[in-house]
Structure 1
């Protein structure tokens, strides 16, 4: 069962992170987000750090589906 993302707020980011936050889509998997960031030239570690940061601030939530 893949872990999926739910976006809880409009894009709250500034700077370079705006583009990465814009990659989130409700229902996309974590792996899909990591791939989307990779297409922008970011390594998987940066995408995982974004997810952790955004979870801690309640910008997104994760669920199993």
Structure 2
């Protein structure tokens, strides 16, 4: 499970989202897995700090923060 904590995305319907959740299957025995978020809609590009966290069940595997300007 990938969690993205956002500075507050407002979708075209006016709803605010402070968190986006993506569930991605991991491939057994794979040497690495690539996990990424792509800004595909203009309303998603919100300036501020974003936090990216990767979980396997309840276990936090890694996290990273980045700033969108």
TM range, normalised to the smaller chain? 0.3 to 0.5
TM normalised by structure 1 equals: 0.33
Instruction: Tell me which protein shows more strand as a share of its residues.
Output: 2
TM normalised by structure 2 equals: 0.32
Instruction: Tell me which protein shows more helix as a share of its residues.
Output: 1
**Greater RCO between the two (CA within 8 Å, min separation 6)?**
1
Choose 1 or 2 for highest CA Rg: 2
